[in-house]
Amino acid sequence: MTIQLGQIAPDFEQDSTHGPIRFHEWLGSSWGLFFSHPKDFTPVCTTELGEVARLRPEWDKRGVKPIGLSVDPVHSHKSWEEDIEDTQGQKLDFPMIADADQKVATLYGMIHPDADPTVTVRAVYVIDSNKKVRLILTYPPSTGRNFSEILRAIDSLQLTDAQSVATPVNWTPGEEVIVSPKLSDEDAKRRFPQGFRTLRPYLRYVDLEKSS
């Protein structure tokens, strides 16, 4: 199965380090960060899981629930968690799915035909509060994921859901954003009374932090 942006994230029930999880029920009305690992006791993923735990205040601030997955069983996950806490200084406080039968990995297309058929690729899915897949990333085994970028992308998604804007290249929260091309100048003036600057008819910037 190929997961595409905008589709409802497939539901599943699977065992985890926090007990059996029915995915949609576990998500509730929260956003989700669902990310997979090739297998337990891999070096790059060890650092990543520690970082996700360290970023707990950032996930909570955005209403995001993190959840990991690999094809190893729960007892292996729990042993790996001890290593992660020992080497990264962070105790994991989110569930790790034990996908020993590869049911979830197959459902989400995490096992690529040209890769090792026994392990999952290092995928990331950002899922919104309506259970829709909003962002998909796939990393090679040797490159650690940049969770600062994932947080930035979530900030953009949540902002652009709330406002008729898009975020430009290298945008970070607090910087100018782009007025949606769907808005006429008249509509934009009503929505953004603080004013906006026009570089081209299709490229208009607005400072959402600026008061009118």
Give the residue numbers marked as catalytic. Answer: 45
Residue 185 identity (one-letter amino acid): D
Count of CB atoms situated within 10 Å of the CB of 144: 13
Backbone φ and ψ for 136, nearest 5 degrees, come out as -130, 130
Question: Which tokens belong to 26?
Answer: 């576990």
CB 164 within 8 A of CB 182: yes
Q: What angle do CA 152, 158, 160 make, to 5 degrees?
A: 100
CB 194 within 8 A of CB 209: no
CA 95 to chain centre: 15
